[in-house]
Amino acid sequence: MPLTPEQKAEIDRLRADTATTRRATVPALEAILYEAIPVLDHGFVRVIDYMGDDAAVVQAARVSYGKGTKRVSEDRGLIHYLMRHRHTTPFEMCEIKYHVKLPIFVARQWIRHRTANVNEYSARYSILDNEFYIPAPEQLAAQSKRNRQGRGEVLAGEEARRVLELLRDDAERAYRGYVEMLNEDDGGRVLDAGRLGLARELARMNLSLNFYTQWYWKTDLHNLLNFLSLRADAHAQYEIRAYAEAMIATVEKWVPMTAEAFRQYRLGGAHLSERGLGVVRRLLAGETVTQEESGMSKREWTELMETLGRSG
């Protein structure tokens, strides 16, 4: 994950600065503040700022309970209770801001989560860097035969080589055309004084979705956990899952008790439908239950059996 000399200098400067505050701070998160966590081949995630900690979640919850309930539960137990019973507003008391560098096609998936404040790098104003995402060979897979939006068997040999060649050649050709249309390099210098360049907002159309963009993304803890529960799931696309996993590592440093409850009840738990719960109760009672008599579709049944660790 190459950082430019300017980016490295900025990170060093920010990490060298310290400030005295009465706000709650988290030493484990302070230790990685501003640092770039590598993701994919050229991407990264950086924590830029945050507000609150596990204690802020507890404080908000106890305010809602009223006076005289301060010792009802220990902090850890209370946070687990809130997560288990989906009491979400106390988690909204904490906020975090990330700087993310990511391929454009990942950004277009990510932006579907409309519960954050986002400011993206403007290719109308600035020139995009010549950086594009090329998957690792183990991530090159054929279309899944079972899932219309998933991957199947990994490509190998000549087939994989050709795909990588096409991805790289197309991206390199697109960037050459981009620079030619702009008539300026990434430093804004004119390449041919005798020719007028195309507007940046038009020239960017030529770039493919694997080029990298950047944004600042700020959200509260509740909505961050919603994002992570979907994007860190095994069924999520690998590329956005890689970012989600890097962000979970920052959440574990920031709010460790909340992260523990999140893993216990959200990432590691399962939600059952009414029919699914009925099947589980019948199985526990020793009954033999088939998909046909369960009232569930084949897909629902398969998902339930996978959740229960049964073959079907």
Residue type, 145: K
Q: Active-site residue among 231, 275, 282, 299? A: 231
Cβ neighbours of 308 (radius 10 Å): 15
Q: Which residues pair with 99 in a beta bridge?
A: 46, 216
Report in angstroms the alpha-carbon separations of 307 from 97, 151, 272, 300, 312: 34, 20, 10, 11, 11
Which phi-psi region, left, alpha or beta, contains residue 243 (left: φ > 0; alpha: ψ -120 to 50)? alpha
Indicate the helix (H) or strand (E) that contains 216: strand 212-220
Give Cα 72 distance to the centre of its chain.
Answer: 35
Residue type, 14: L
Report in angstroms the alpha-carbon separations of 21 from 3, 18, 25: 30, 10, 9
On whether the CB atoms of residues 48 and 97 are closer than 8 A, the answer is yes
On whether the CB atoms of residues 139 and 124 are closer than 8 A, the answer is no
Residue type, 173: R
Half-sphere exposure of 83 (CA within 13 A, CB side): 26
Counting Cβ atoms within 10 Å, is residue 31 exposed (0-12), middle (13-18) or buried (19+)? exposed
Cβ neighbours of 244 (radius 10 Å): 19
Q: Hey, what are 204's tokens?
A: 């960017």
* Catalytic residue check, 231: yes
Active-site positions read 231
